Chain A
Amino acid sequence: MPKDSGIGASSKRREDVRFLTGAGNYTDDINVHGQAYVHFLRSDIAHGRIKSIDTSAAETMPGVVKVFTGKDFEGVGGMPCGWEVTDKHGAPMQEPPHPILAQGKVRHVGDPIAAVVADSLEQARDAAEAIELDIEELPAVLDMKAAAQEGATLVHDDLKNNICYDWQLGEADDAKVNEVFANAAHVTTLDLVNNRLVANPMEPRVAVAEYNRGTEDYTLYTTSQNPHVIRLLMCAFVLGLPEHKVRVVAPDVGGGFGTKIFHYAEEAFCTFAAKACGRPVKWTASRSEAFMSDAQGRDHVSTIELALDADNNFIGLRTNTYANLGAYLSTFSSSVPTWLHGTLMAGNYKTPVIQVNVKAMFTNTVPVDAYRGAGRPEATFQLERVVDKAARELGVDPIALRRQNFITQFPYDTPVALTYDTGDYNGTMDKLEVAADLAGFAARRTESEAKGKLRGLGINCYIEACGIAPSNIVGMLGARAGLYDAATVRVNATGSISVMVGAHSHGQGHETAFPQVVADMIGIDESMVEIVHGDTSKIPFGMGTYGSRSLAVCGSAMVKATEKVIEKAKKIAAHLLEASEADIELKDGQFSVAGTDKSVAWGDVTLTAYVPHNYPLEVEPGLEETAFYDPANFTFPAGAYACEVEVDPETGQVTIEKFTAADDFGNIINPMIVDGQVHGGIGQGIGQALLENCAYDENGQLLSASFMDYAMPRADDVPFYEVDHSSQTPCTHNPLGVKGCGEAGAIGSPPAVVNAVLDALNSGGKSVDHIDMPVSPSRVWAAMNS
């Protein structure tokens, strides 16, 4: 029986009313009296040495307040990287400076060279055109394997080479790995590319900063997934400001997908310039700027080898990956190809020996960082493609091969540093087989053949690690931040509740789901509870929203704080009811004395807390509690996906006819929101698999620099999804038993789509081992006709 409120209810997203009726308050909606506008002059070449910048003409142009270049920031810190990776020889990664405005060299198309602050944006643009640049063009470093060679052109002249780190995880003894492969009955090898993506949230990035000369306070409004992280990084590492003098506000944010986690130069610039100009400064990215300045995603080139014994058991796995970091280290870029990627290479399988090798490369491209899934999609794609290829080579059913190798005993220590606390991969696969009607596939294939189409079925399993934690472990792995979160539950006198959370909602539905938890714990209506987020002056220090962490980490803090509130409220209720605190029960918003009909309502107790006339003397007035929560482990959502495609053999056009997701997210707070998160994730995964391609030419010019050439998935590119979340193994270590659902779809769907296309082609009589994403019509046609 579906619930109609509280935990487990599909409450409608309350925030959607304002989003859908134009009443949202986004950063670009914020205008501060007297604000000036900044336009960044960005490099139009990928790599060059700055010989001179002449801003004298620009400075005299109408409306110009001030023109900035890299020289203005020589005494200021650069953009920091939040994770120090140690390479396989024990050395720290190479960490080049990342100035706010280019100093000495430009390193990618879009690298900001100068900034003009003027009364209007058009005046700023006019003046930027009057800046005279003399830049000596250098060869662009683009191909990762070439960039790794001795003598390659250097992206950063002060580094010894273009390799940020050469990292390894798992079995360190090469001889042992070689022996496993030498003794294997079968080895399947695959070379593949995980295509570079541009996140393209609907709302481009915006920053508005003001400085109060009287109080010496700064306020920065910015499109961020984690305002406290931005404040900390900007204050401590970039501008050297005391945190208590800086307020960072991330109001409604129109989509993040990871790309709004990071601290960007434009935010720091506006904050710096607001004081330097004596005027508030506003920057709104154009879509073109977003393409060349938002951190991009993925971009791995990998070789993966899977060793199997004579009984088709996986006995060894080895991967070698080149990971593109772009021109500079973005905030969490170094962690993505390593601790968010290598650790996932066991997948759902009990492969005993695994070795993961990653070379992270600097190139003359836009920096690459976390994008929905962040490392986990890259790992899953490699693993599930090679498993699928192995099944084809061995002539065995791809589901049977997976089931045979599933981990079935939990907790399970993988050879790549994780401990899976719980899961039931066969149970989830059982759900998939039913939900996807796999028994009916043969008949559907026959129908497609009658239309002249090739039909394929692609299966994929995934495991992901969410709510990255605990802080002491990630600290040992190189994280320069803690990964806990915080919540303050403030009960108002009349019983309504404001919950100040460190998580940030930018599409995830926190404003609906979080209150469901608190309301359920107390037994009051959801409408009595509201979430406050996104303003460092209002919320406790939390780490924000990414990595599907919000409910598992911040939600747990909220539960802890609510428990403290209830504990205190019971003391007050006991006093009012003249009973022992141990006998007080809370149900449906009523405190009652066990075994009696004596009770007092929630609202009476909360009022008493703030009007403490008849009150226990030993209890402090008020009802407000804060909790911080640092998880004991990651959470491990897992799932099995099935994709059915039709391929037009004449054109190579792929259409997705059916897509089924069976996920195990542990306990679920709001099933409708979870469905929506999975739908969105699959949509982005299908985008990666079929459409999206961030491509550079041989000079480092971005070929897909607008929506004319960068193909975003549209409604008619995706099917109606079947989703089944009834396979539930609750997380064993957080109070809600939740695992996180935000990234699953984007992790699980790309291999399912590609496996389906290859199944269609191979079952249609073609012999095609692999097609790189995006599996565009032209690439399918080329593969069929090669």
Chain B
Amino acid sequence: MYSFEFEKPSTIADAVAALGAEDAQALGGGQTLIPTLKQRLAAPSALISLSGIAEMKGVCVNDDGSVSVGGATTHATVASEAAGSYPALAALAGQIGDPAVRNRGTIGGSIANNDPAACYPAGVLGSGATIITNTREIAADDFFEGMFSTALDEGEIITSVRFPVPQAASYQKFLQPASRFALVGVYLARFADGVRVAVTGASEDGVFRWTEAEQALTKEFRPDALMDLRINPANMIGDLHGSKDYRAHLVGVMTKRAVQACV
């Protein structure tokens, strides 16, 4: 990697200030950024670690029953601490990568990166969560703007994510055999006022909501409700690990399995 300065502030304010430097880059768990640096594919002037900020860590249940996860909270912490309050989210976190990844990688880092095959974007979008930054609140529907692209401004930090807790939810992940990211991952959440279905791994546009499935399942929450629905393969990812058609097919299978897991 190229040389860079390193800072580890202990407050959000200090982190924001440090990120004001030209070409400074926030560092979450580094699970994408560090390999990128090692490949010399990025050359930030400074890395601002967010892992020393206590107020950005941990899982808590809010008065309204929603669950907040600090932006610098590791996957392993979510897997254990959210297991009671939001089991489906905890299960998603517990399936990311391997133990080393789960003990370094953070929710803020994952959704800020918005890898098209990452798990968290599906959990956040499928839950209809709210992304809270140092300056504002952003609805998940407005946050994910396509592969590796989000609504975050330069230097903006995800301080926490607030999840409304659905009546039932399930994340069904079909593994890409090499990376074990999602070849297709479907996060389904059933709320009193409707069903949300978010799909990761499959689309050239990154995580997306499968609205036809949501409508069908809101009307009738059973696997058969999906029987006549097909995803258009045109915008699907086609690569070494699966064709567009295969991914489109898997979206249906994984959504069905998520419904089965919830009934």
Q: Assess whether B177 is interfacial by the CB under 8 Å rule.
A: yes
A704→B40 contact, CB < 8 A? no
B249→A781 contact, CB < 8 A? yes
B241→A776 contact, CB < 8 A? yes
> In the assembled complex, how far is the CB of residue A343 from the closest CB belonging to chain B, in whole angstroms?
34
B40→A776 contact, CB < 8 A? no
Q: Which 8 A-B pairs have the closest CB atoms?
A: A711-B178, A778-B242, A711-B177, A778-B246, A708-B179, A650-B253, A709-B178, A703-B240
Interface hits, A680-719 → B, CB 8 Å: 690-691, 693, 695, 703-704, 707-712
Q: Assess whether A651 is interfacial by the CB under 8 Å rule.
A: yes
B178→A777 contact, CB < 8 A? no
Q: Assess whether B56 is interfacial by the CB under 8 Å rule.
A: no
Residues of A within 8 A of B174 (CB): 651, 653, 777
The number of chain A residues with a CB under 8 A from chain B is 25
Q: Assess whether A17 is interfacial by the CB under 8 Å rule.
A: no
Q: How far is the CA of A288 from the CA of B240 in the complex (A)?
A: 18
Q: Assess whether A42 is interfacial by the CB under 8 Å rule.
A: no
Q: If the complex has contacts A651-B174, A781-B246, are A709 and B253 also in contact, measured as CB distance less than 8 A? A: no
Q: If the complex has contacts A288-B39, A703-B240, A776-B241, are A651 and B178 also in contact, measured as CB distance less than 8 A? A: no
Residues of A within 8 A of B245 (CB): 782
Q: Is chain A's interface secondary structure helix, strand, loop, or mixed overall?
A: loop
Residues of B within 8 A of A712 (CB): 178
A709→B246 contact, CB < 8 A? no
Q: Assess whether B243 is interfacial by the CB under 8 Å rule.
A: yes
> In the assembled complex, how far is the CB of residue B151 from the closest CB belonging to chain A, in whole angstroms?
27
A707→B179 contact, CB < 8 A? yes
Residue of B nearest to A781 (CB): B246
Residue in A122, A690, A704 whose beta carbon sits within 8 Å of that of B240 in the complex: A704
7 further A-B contacts with Cβ under 8 Å, apart from A707-B178, A709-B240, A781-B246, are A122-B2, A129-B40, A709-B179, A709-B241, A712-B178, A777-B246, A778-B246
Q: How far is the CA of A777 from the CA of B178 in the complex (A)?
A: 12
> In the assembled complex, how far is the CB of residue A300 from the closest CB belonging to chain B, in whole angstroms?
20
Residue in B177, B240, B253 whose beta carbon sits within 8 Å of that of A695 in the complex: B240
Q: How far is the CA of A125 from the CA of B1 in the complex (A)?
A: 9
Q: How far is the CA of A60 from the CA of B249 in the complex (A)?
A: 57
Interface hits, A649-670 → B, CB 8 Å: 650-653
Q: How far is the CA of A125 from the CA of B179 in the complex (A)?
A: 27
Q: How far is the CA of A781 from the CA of B245 in the complex (A)?
A: 10
Contact with A along B168-204 (1 / 0, CB 8 A): 0000001001110101000000000000000000000
18 contacts between A and B (CB under 8 A): A122-B2, A650-B253, A651-B250, A652-B246, A703-B239, A704-B178, A708-B178, A708-B179, A708-B181, A709-B178, A709-B179, A709-B241, A712-B178, A776-B177, A777-B246, A778-B246, A781-B246, A782-B246
Interface hits, B218-242 → A, CB 8 Å: 239-242
Q: How far is the CA of A708 from the CA of B243 in the complex (A)?
A: 17
A125→B240 contact, CB < 8 A? no
Q: How far is the CA of A575 from the CA of B187 in the complex (A)?
A: 85
The number of chain B residues with a CB under 8 A from chain A is 21
Interface hits, A494-551 → B, CB 8 Å: none
Q: How far is the CA of A282 from the CA of B174 in the complex (A)?
A: 42
Residues of A within 8 A of B243 (CB): 778, 782
Q: How far is the CA of A759 from the CA of B243 in the complex (A)?
A: 24
> In the assembled complex, how far is the CB of residue B102 from the closest CB belonging to chain A, in whole angstroms?
16
Residues of B within 8 A of A650 (CB): 253
Residues of B within 8 A of A777 (CB): 174, 177, 183, 242, 246
Contact with B along A564-599 (1 / 0, CB 8 A): 000000000000000000000000000000000000
Residue of B nearest to A691 (CB): B177
Q: How far is the CA of A145 from the CA of B3 in the complex (A)?
A: 47
Q: How far is the CA of A651 from the CA of B2 in the complex (A)?
A: 43
Q: How far is the CA of A288 from the CA of B40 in the complex (A)?
A: 12
Q: How far is the CA of A357 from the CA of B118 in the complex (A)?
A: 47
Q: How far is the CA of A670 from the CA of B39 in the complex (A)?
A: 44
Q: How far is the CA of A690 from the CA of B241 in the complex (A)?
A: 12
Q: How far is the CA of A693 from the CA of B177 in the complex (A)?
A: 11
Q: How far is the CA of A777 from the CA of B177 in the complex (A)?
A: 9
Residues of A within 8 A of B181 (CB): 708
Interface hits, B1-27 → A, CB 8 Å: 1-3
Residue of B nearest to A653 (CB): B174
Residue of A nearest to B245 (CB): A782
Residues of A within 8 A of B239 (CB): 703
Residues of A within 8 A of B40 (CB): 125, 129
Contact with A along B96-111 (1 / 0, CB 8 A): 0000000000000000
Residues of B within 8 A of A125 (CB): 40
Interface hits, B142-171 → A, CB 8 Å: none
> In the assembled complex, how far is the CB of residue B36 from the closest CB belonging to chain A, in whole angstroms?
12
Q: How far is the CA of A690 from the CA of B246 in the complex (A)?
A: 17
Residue of B nearest to A717 (CB): B177
Residues of B within 8 A of A703 (CB): 239-240
Residues of B within 8 A of A778 (CB): 241-243, 246
Q: How far is the CA of A272 from the CA of B179 in the complex (A)?
A: 39
Q: How far is the CA of A708 from the CA of B179 in the complex (A)?
A: 4
Residue of A nearest to B178 (CB): A711
Residues of B within 8 A of A653 (CB): 174
Residues of A within 8 A of B179 (CB): 707-709
> In the assembled complex, how far is the CB of residue B33 from the closest CB belonging to chain A, in whole angstroms?
15
Best-buried of B40, B174, B242, B243 by chain A (most CB within 10 Å): B242
Q: How far is the CA of A710 from the CA of B249 in the complex (A)?
A: 23
B240→A651 contact, CB < 8 A? no
Residues of B within 8 A of A651 (CB): 174, 250, 253
B178→A710 contact, CB < 8 A? yes
Residues of A within 8 A of B246 (CB): 652, 777-778, 781-782
Q: How far is the CA of A704 from the CA of B241 in the complex (A)?
A: 10
B240→A693 contact, CB < 8 A? yes
Residues of A within 8 A of B242 (CB): 776-778
Residues of B within 8 A of A690 (CB): 177
Residues of B within 8 A of A652 (CB): 246
Residues of B within 8 A of A129 (CB): 40
Residues of B within 8 A of A704 (CB): 178, 240
Q: How far is the CA of A597 from the CA of B174 in the complex (A)?
A: 74
Residues of B within 8 A of A708 (CB): 178-179, 181
Residue of A nearest to B184 (CB): A651
> In the assembled complex, how far is the CB of residue A652 from the closest CB belonging to chain B, in whole angstroms?
8
Residues of A within 8 A of B1 (CB): 122
> In the assembled complex, how far is the CB of residue A118 from the closest CB belonging to chain B, in whole angstroms?
15
> In the assembled complex, how far is the CB of residue A775 from the closest CB belonging to chain B, in whole angstroms?
11
Residue of B nearest to A712 (CB): B178
Q: How far is the CA of A712 from the CA of B249 in the complex (A)?
A: 25
Interface hits, B36-88 → A, CB 8 Å: 39-40
Q: How far is the CA of A707 from the CA of B35 in the complex (A)?
A: 12
Q: How far is the CA of A713 from the CA of B183 in the complex (A)?
A: 17
> In the assembled complex, how far is the CB of residue A330 from the closest CB belonging to chain B, in whole angstroms?
25
Q: How far is the CA of A695 from the CA of B242 in the complex (A)?
A: 14
> In the assembled complex, how far is the CB of residue B81 from the closest CB belonging to chain A, in whole angstroms?
26
> In the assembled complex, how far is the CB of residue B171 from the closest CB belonging to chain A, in whole angstroms?
16
> In the assembled complex, how far is the CB of residue A296 from the closest CB belonging to chain B, in whole angstroms?
16
Interface hits, B237-263 → A, CB 8 Å: 239-243, 245-246, 249-250, 253
> In the assembled complex, how far is the CB of residue A691 from the closest CB belonging to chain B, in whole angstroms?
5
Q: How far is the CA of A778 from the CA of B237 in the complex (A)?
A: 13
Q: How far is the CA of A710 from the CA of B39 in the complex (A)?
A: 17
Q: How far is the CA of A712 from the CA of B181 in the complex (A)?
A: 14
Residues of A within 8 A of B177 (CB): 690-691, 711, 776-777
Q: How far is the CA of A703 from the CA of B178 in the complex (A)?
A: 12
Residue of A nearest to B3 (CB): A122
Best-buried of B178, B245, B249 by chain A (most CB within 10 Å): B178
Residue of B nearest to A703 (CB): B240
Q: How far is the CA of A540 from the CA of B183 in the complex (A)?
A: 53
Residue of A nearest to B38 (CB): A286
Residues of A within 8 A of B249 (CB): 781
Q: How far is the CA of A288 from the CA of B38 in the complex (A)?
A: 11
Q: How far is the CA of A549 from the CA of B138 in the complex (A)?
A: 65
Best-buried of B3, B174, B240 by chain A (most CB within 10 Å): B240
